[in-house]
């Protein structure tokens, strides 16, 4: 099939690398030719001076059998235009709920899935009231367009309220109670058009300044009941949204209770290890799902896996290639502070060996 | 680096799919835009009406940091042109010996590596003499441009001599003694610019009408000494040719003696299973070698692996995707009799399960 991706970053790139062996063709709707995906498919540039070019979007759409997107921040107007002629997966409902933190929280509450307490904030006085109700510390987050910790402000004391409101530019937001978690986990699943559903194992994620730096897969010391609990939340959410493709849930682990932090309607950085670590990667499974094919196995190929992000500078990739457990993935992006330039997958059947490999590449960790 | 490939078939395609994650760019020198690789890199069309366009070859060469080739049948004139400005791996010596069956046999004899008895045949009377010396059955093979059993004629009785000579159009050939082998094996290895060398395990290959249909990896019932013997032949050959990149040796197994059948200076159909079955695939290792990077691990990821070629028609790929052990690889080629359109990798830690999966996909076998 001819598969279109809205966006042309590293996620589109890795989707393409998975799609070609399955016999598909790739098209990208992008902001510029200079992006990680453009060498891997036909690229349509649709945005000039912040204006969508509807003609280009139509041409892109007409050239695709099915369209998917890289980001929950995708412009709904573009999706609506494309949907006139071409199937888009995941569908409207997934995007509607996940691109707005308020709607996301409301959905979690509706499904009785634990999440942090929150209040919608549309004005400074809303913020003041919310702080009274929720207490401090709390996090002010824009309802839209947040990623990698952007559009967020941790308010520790009342003296910071003005600064917080200014930093997020006074846009529509939510105030969220701060969760004192033991660790961060995520669960990735894939659902087919036929409703078939497969889960990857829970993984553990370490962030630094809002950016994911290290994933351990599977997360260690996870009881069967905790995995099942996470899967039950996923089951409710993915079916409620009639989601097709990969869905990711970020979770806080608090003494074996799980609190949902965020939902992403897409392949996720914390699932990049699946390229080498799982029988079928999250990218291949997303492609299989949206093309109405059978889903691939999500079981582990190695007992222990890790993913280290390459952030800001490319670093000593020689050392990565010399490491017999390591696999290098670069995204063809220019070095820039805090930018995701690539990742390293480490695979092993010994946890000690995995730890040694991580230590050996600690230059890539904060 | 910018990596150029002479040729743009499935081998170039799979090299590209391995090269992008390592951060490289791909260029292809091709006969037409309509080929398996062209969607995966910049394509230069160099041949019009059987004439090489030197200007295009120069442009291609100037746009590459290093150049490799898909086939031992590559035109030496093109390599010479490119070598003026750009490094080509594998080098001249590898191509010189492997693209001519006579020179290949002479090299094997020089290195005391067992191969079938042979004589060069330049005329019909040469052929008559060779049959007296070698005996029948014997195989008449063109010295150049043979692949997938093309350019070969099995002579069983003297009554077929005329037919054989006509079939191969009376071009320069060798007559080779027929080897009554137990099974066909192959050994794939990779050698870096620094001379570093890694071997994959011996695999067993089943052909039908000259075309590879099934590879079992590793080959079963291989003694350590047999693996070592094959590696010692590889060691002699790859070092003698100062070969850089992947080299493949096809072998006949005759009651635990090994006879070399052919050498290919490239990634090989019998190594396609390494994409999922080995820590680093033959494609990734070829790219690592020619870009002067450390070589990747060649160890097995699953105990048992198989590769089934998709020949002539695409067949029921749904059944492939439904099989939890199977991985599909299509090359974006149109269906045509005896054409290699893709392959299936099967991986398992149980030989019985592997056999069941093969049986389940027997529609793809002759």
Q: Which of the four pLDDT bands, split at 50, 70 and 90, describes residue B19?
A: very high
Q: Which CATH number fits domain A2-88: 3.90.1150.10, 3.40.190.10, 3.50.50.60, 3.40.50.20?
A: 3.40.50.20
What average pLDDT does the segment A125-148 reach?
Answer: 92
Q: Among B288, B297, B318, select the one facing A324 at the smallest CB separation.
A: B297
pLDDT of residue A91: 95
Query: pTM to 2 decimals?
Result: 0.96
Is the pLDDT reported for residue B261 higher than 80?
yes
Q: Which of the four pLDDT bands, split at 50, 70 and 90, describes residue B170?
A: confident
Q: Are B107 and B135 in contact (CB under 8 A)?
A: no
- A contacts of B41 (beta carbons < 8 Å): 39
Q: Which residue out of A18, A22, A273, A280 would a mutagenesis test of the B interface target, given it has the greatest number of B Cβ atoms within 10 Å?
A: A22
**Nearest-by-CA chain B residue for A288:** B321
SS3 annotation, chain A: CEEEEECCCHHHHHHHHHHHHHCCEEEEEECCCCCCCHHHCEEEECEECCEECHHHHHHHHHCCCEEEECCCCCCHHHHHHHHCCCEECCCHHHHHHHCCHHHHHHHHHHCCCCECCEEEECCHHHHHHHHHHHCCCEEEEECCCCCCCCCEEEECCHHHHHHHHHHCCCCCEEEEECCCCCEEEEEEEEECCCCCEEECCCEEEEEECCEEEEEEECCCCCCHHHHHHHHHHHHHHHHHCCCCEEEEEEEEEECCEEEEEEEECCCCHHHCCHHHHECCCHHHHHHHHHCCCCCCCCCECCCEEEEEEEECCCCCHHHHHHCCCEEEEECCCCCCCCCEEEEEEEEECCHHHHHHHHHHCHHHCC
- How many whole angstroms separate alpha carbon B42 and alpha carbon B26? 7
Q: Does A20 touch chain B (CB under 8 A)?
A: yes
Q: Which residue out of B25, B39, B295 would a mutagenesis test of the A interface target, given it has the greatest number of A Cβ atoms within 10 Å?
A: B39
pLDDT of residue A288: 98
**By percentage, how much of chain B surpasses pLDDT 90?**
92
Q: Does B321 touch chain A (CB under 8 A)?
A: yes
Inter-chain contact A21–B25, Cβ cutoff 8 Å?
no
Q: How far is A331 from chain B (nearest CA, A)?
A: 7
- A contacts of B26 (beta carbons < 8 Å): 39
- How many whole angstroms separate alpha carbon A204 and alpha carbon B118? 62
Inter-chain contact A23–B301, Cβ cutoff 8 Å?
no
Q: Which of A82-86, A147-151, B212-216 has the lowest mean pLDDT?
A: A147-151
pLDDT of residue A145: 82
What average pLDDT does the segment B234-259 reach?
Answer: 96
Q: Which of the four pLDDT bands, split at 50, 70 and 90, describes residue B150?
A: confident
Average pLDDT, chain B: 96
- How many whole angstroms separate alpha carbon B52 and alpha carbon B158? 41
Is the pLDDT reported for residue B147 higher than 80?
no
Is the pLDDT reported for residue B118 higher than 90?
yes
Chain region(s) in chain B for CATH 3.40.50.20: 2-87
Burial of B143 from C-beta contacts in 10 A (0-12 / 13-18 / 19+): buried
What average pLDDT does the segment A189-199 reach?
Answer: 98
Q: Among B21, B41, B297, select the one facing A329 at the smallest CB separation.
A: B21
* B2-87 under CATH 3.40.50.20, yes or no: yes
Contacts of B361-364 with C-beta under 8 Å, sequence gap 24+, read: B361/B308, B361/B319, B361/B320, B361/B323, B361/B326, B363/B315, B363/B316, B363/B319, B364/B308, B364/B309, B364/B310, B364/B311, B364/B315
- How many whole angstroms separate alpha carbon A15 and alpha carbon A6? 12
pLDDT of residue B34: 87
pLDDT of residue B32: 86
Q: Which residue has the tokens 């970020």?
A: A250
Q: Among B26, B296, B328, select the one facing A21 at the smallest CB separation.
A: B328
Inter-chain contact B22–A342, Cβ cutoff 8 Å?
no
- Give the number of other CB atoms < 10 A from CB of residue B342: 25
- A contacts of B13 (beta carbons < 8 Å): 20
Chain region(s) in chain B for CATH 3.30.1490.20: 117-177
- Tens digit of each residue's pLDDT (9 = 90 or more) over A206-237: 999 989 999 999 999 999 999 999 999 999 99
Inter-chain contact B321–A296, Cβ cutoff 8 Å?
yes
Which CATH topology does A117-177 take? Dna Ligase; domain 1 (3.30.1490)
Which CATH topology does A183-364 take? D-amino Acid Aminotransferase; Chain A, domain 1 (3.30.470)
Question: Cα A209 to the chain's mean position, in Å?
Answer: 17
- Tens digit of each residue's pLDDT (9 = 90 or more) over B5-15: 999 999 999 99
What would the two tokens of residue B266 be? 């490239």
- How many whole angstroms separate alpha carbon B267 and alpha carbon B236? 19
pLDDT of residue A49: 76
Q: Which of the four pLDDT bands, split at 50, 70 and 90, describes residue B203?
A: very high
Contacts of B267 (CB under 8 A, 6+ apart): B11, B14, B15, B188, B246, B248, B282, B283, B286
Q: How far is B345 from chain A (nearest CA, A)?
A: 11
Q: Which residue has the tokens 């159909």?
A: B269
Q: Are B249 and B235 in contact (CB under 8 A)?
A: no
Task: Report CA Rg, chain A.
Answer: 20
Q: Are A29 and A5 in contact (CB under 8 A)?
A: yes
Inter-chain contact B20–A17, Cβ cutoff 8 Å?
yes
Contacts of A356 (CB under 8 A, 6+ apart): none
Q: Does B327 touch chain A (CB under 8 A)?
A: yes
- A contacts of B330 (beta carbons < 8 Å): 21-23
Is the pLDDT reported for residue A111 higher than 80?
yes
What average pLDDT does the segment B129-157 reach?
Answer: 90
Inter-chain contact B21–A17, Cβ cutoff 8 Å?
yes
Query: What's the residue count for chain A?
Result: 366
- B contacts of A196 (beta carbons < 8 Å): none
**Nearest-by-CA chain A residue for B40:** A40
- How many whole angstroms separate alpha carbon A4 and alpha carbon A60? 8
- Tens digit of each residue's pLDDT (9 = 90 or more) over B50-105: 788 999 999 999 999 999 999 999 999 999 999 999 999 999 999 999 999 999 99
The helix (run of H) or strand (run of E) holding residue B153 is: strand B152-155
Burial of A337 from C-beta contacts in 10 A (0-12 / 13-18 / 19+): exposed
pLDDT of residue B49: 75
Q: Does B292 touch chain A (CB under 8 A)?
A: no
Q: How far is A268 from chain B (nearest CA, A)?
A: 17
pLDDT of residue A150: 77
**Nearest-by-CA chain B residue for A280:** B327
Q: Are A118 and A172 in contact (CB under 8 A)?
A: no
Is the pLDDT reported for residue B194 higher than 90?
yes
Is the pLDDT reported for residue A50 higher than 80?
no
- A contacts of B21 (beta carbons < 8 Å): 17, 327-330
**Nearest-by-CA chain B residue for A324:** B297
Is the pLDDT reported for residue A147 higher than 80?
no
CA-based torsion, A173, A178, A183, A188: positive or negative? negative
**By percentage, how much of chain A surpasses pLDDT 70?**
99
- Tens digit of each residue's pLDDT (9 = 90 or more) over B344-353: 999 999 999 9
What average pLDDT does the segment A182-193 reach?
Answer: 98
- How many whole angstroms separate alpha carbon A315 and alpha carbon A320? 9
Q: Are A301 and A276 in contact (CB under 8 A)?
A: yes
Q: Among B321, B324, B330, select the one facing A288 at the smallest CB separation.
A: B321
Q: Among A314, A318, A347, select the one facing B294 at the smallest CB separation.
A: A318
ipTM above 0.90, yes or no: yes
Inter-chain contact B17–A20, Cβ cutoff 8 Å?
yes
Chain region(s) in chain A for CATH 3.30.470.20: 183-364
Average pLDDT, chain A: 96
**Between B169 and B296, residue with greater pLDDT:** B296
Q: Does A221 touch chain B (CB under 8 A)?
A: no
Q: Does A96 touch chain B (CB under 8 A)?
A: no
Is the pLDDT reported for residue A149 higher than 80?
no
Q: Which residue has the tokens 């093979």?
A: B141
Is the pLDDT reported for residue A281 higher than 90?
yes
Q: How far is A298 from chain B (nearest CA, A)?
A: 9
């Amino acid at each position: 099939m001819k598969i279109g991706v809205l966006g042309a970053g590293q996620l589109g790139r890795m989707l393409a690398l998975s799609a070609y062996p399955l016999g598909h063709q790739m098209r990208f709707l992008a902001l510029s030719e200079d992006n990680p995906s453009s060498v891997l498919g036909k690229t349509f540039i649709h945005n000039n001076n912040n204006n969508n070019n509807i003609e280009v979007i139509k041409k892109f759409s007409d050239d695709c059998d099915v369209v998917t997107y890289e980001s929950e921040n995708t412009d709904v107007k573009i999706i609506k235009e494309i949907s006139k002629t071409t199937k888009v997966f995941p569908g409207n409902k997934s995007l509607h709920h996940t691109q707005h933190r308020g709607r996301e929280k409301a959905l979690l509450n509706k499904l009785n899935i634990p999440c942090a307490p929150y209040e919608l904030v549309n004005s400074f006085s809303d913020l003041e009231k919310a702080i009274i109700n929720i207490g401090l510390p709390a996090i002010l987050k824009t309802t839209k367009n947040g990623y990698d910790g952007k559009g967020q402000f941790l308010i520790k004391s009342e003296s910071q309220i003005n600064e917080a409101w200014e930093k997020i530019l006074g846009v529509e937001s939510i105030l969220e109670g701060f969760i004192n978690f033991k660790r961060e986990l995520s669960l990735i699943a894939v659902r087919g058009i036929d409703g078939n559903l497969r889960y990857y194992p829970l993984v553990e994620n370490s962030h630094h300044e809002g950016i994911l730096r290290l994933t351990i897969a599977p997360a260690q010391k996870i009881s069967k009941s905790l995995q099942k609990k996470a899967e039950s939340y996923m089951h409710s959410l993915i079916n409620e949204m009639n989601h097709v493709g990969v869905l990711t849930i970020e979770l806080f682990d608090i003494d074996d209770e799980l609190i949902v932090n965020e939902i992403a309607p897409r392949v996720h950085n914390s699932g990049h290890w699946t390229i080498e670590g799982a029988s079928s990667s999250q990218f291949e499974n997303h492609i299989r799902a949206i093309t109405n094919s059978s889903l691939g196995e999500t079981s582990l190929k190695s007992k222990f896996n890790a993913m280290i992000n390459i952030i800001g500078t490319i670093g000593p990739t020689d050392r990565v290639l010399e490491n017999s457990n390591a696999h290098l993935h670069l995204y063809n992006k220019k070095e820039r502070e805090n930018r995701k330039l690539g990742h390293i997958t480490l695979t092993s059947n010994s946890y000690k060996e995995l730890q040694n490999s991580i230590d050996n590449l600690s230059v890539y960790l904060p």
